[in-house]
Amino acid sequence: GACCSYRLRNALHPLWQSPLSIPGGSRQSPINIQWRDSVYDPFLKPLKISYDPTTCLHIWNNGYSFLVEFDDSTDRSIIVGGPLENQYRLKQFHFHWGAINEWGSEHTVDSKFYPAELHLVHWNAVVYPSFEEAVMEGNGLAVIGVFLKLGAHHEGLQTLVDALPAVKHKDTVIEFDVFDPSCLIPSCPDYWTYAGSLTTPPLTESVTWIIKKKPIEVDENQLEAFRMLLFTSDGEEEKRMVDNFRPLQPLMNRTVRSSFQ
Ligand SMILES: Cc1ccnc(S(N)(=O)=O)n1
Ligand SMILES: [Zn+2]
């Protein structure tokens, strides 16, 4: 019944040391996107992406994933349009992946997992004075999700992969001063969008998710490079950084809209 599923969902998950879902949460992420249940919305605009590659700052291992962070003190790297009422500033991007190619993404499409998923995190600097405040507001964040599938070598990703050995351990950082993350976003304009949450703490229900329909292709060596990262700090017993994805959350009273028919 509902009560036991609630208890089940609220079990402590080792990786996140926090409830699997926010008690009373009604818009948690990730979710399964059932293609045939998504509703085409003709009023959805194309998503406009304009990133300035020189806003790139560094790559670091935060003990959950590796993040590439950007200078978000101006509007030089922004997205606008799509389901968004305002423009949103790029703050960072990171990935989630599995120990093997059978799983790793956070969202699923018709219950299919991809081996990895990219998240580009943006915040509403038009309405809120800081990222930290935007994180607490229903329209504070916009995250673009891009699925990674096993296939051809990805040239743009390789520049990132080449830097990963330098951030093998938790809390290590390397300067990374020019990178244009739009090379990681498929040119196909089609996306799904729904109201959700962050998938790692603080799990706040502040994210407009924009999930690209088309995956990007990466090769086995590139996925393996993600898996050689560690959750642990230098000197601790090594724990490989794999399976850093949150379990699926209930759709509750939400509709996933599509920008395509
Ligand atoms: C910035 C941030 C924090 C936590 N979780 C996420 S995520 N995985 O929902 O994109 N992003
Ligand atoms: Zn994420």
**ipTM for this prediction:** 0.98
Mean pLDDT by 10 residues, the chain (261 residues): 42 50 86 98 98 98 97 98 98 98 98 98 98 97 99 98 98 96 98 98 97 98 98 97 97 98 96
pTM, entire model:
0.93
Q: Distance between CA 58 and CA 179 in Å, rounded?
A: 10
- The distance from CA 53 to its chain's CA centroid, rounded to whole angstroms, is 19
Residue with tokens 């208890």, as numbered in its chain:
7
* Ligand 1 pocket: which of 72, 94, 107 to mutate (most atoms within 8 A of CB): 94
Residue 3: the pLDDT is 42
Residue 24: the pLDDT is 78
Report the separation in Å between the CA atom of 208 and the middle of ligand 1, taken as the mean of its atom positions. 12
> Which ligand is closest to the CA of 117, given by its number?
2
Neighbours of 130 (CB within 10 A): 10
pLDDT digits (tens, 9 = 90+) for 201-252: 999 999 999 999 999 999 999 999 999 999 999 999 999 999 999 999 999 9
Q: Is the distance from CB of 238 to CB of 232 less than 8 angstroms?
A: yes
Cα→Cα distances 140→47, 79, 149, 159, Å: 17, 13, 29, 30
Q: Is the CB of 249 under 6 A from ligand 1?
A: no
